[in-house]
Amino acid sequence: MGLFSSVVDMPGDESIAKLFSSSLEEIFGGGDLLVEVAREMIKEEIKDKVRASLEENPELKREFKDAVALYYESKIRQTLAAARIAKASARLGLKIAPRDLQDEVQKEVEKEIARIIDDTL
């Protein structure tokens, strides 16, 4: 009988195994952390392959870059449209508000818009 077999056969060996496995879970965050690490590694591998492919084909790189720029511009236009809708909605709300509350509501809306812009920049 070796040293390890006597340790394994000791009373409470289940407790040691539980302690060991719970320590590993504590260190690695259970399976979640390992899965997250694996996902990040896969993403990096895909990014490397995409970059390599684009470097090998300048025409495809230019086409891809133009498409990304178009997508970015469309997102900015979408944000601009949402801002214009919000502005028109605020103006409409002011028009239908009772006259004696219009100034108060307008000041509050202006403060909120200024806060949103400040938070964004």
CA-to-CA distance for 36 and 51, rounded, in angstroms?
Answer: 22
At 43-58, the pLDDT tens digits run 999 999 999 999 999 9
CA-to-CA distance for 102 and 106, rounded, in angstroms?
Answer: 6
pTM above 0.75, yes or no: no
CA-to-CA distance for 77 and 62, rounded, in angstroms?
Answer: 22
Which residue's structure tokens are 């307008």?
A: 106
At 47-92, the pLDDT tens digits run 999 999 999 999 999 999 999 999 999 999 999 999 899 889 888 8
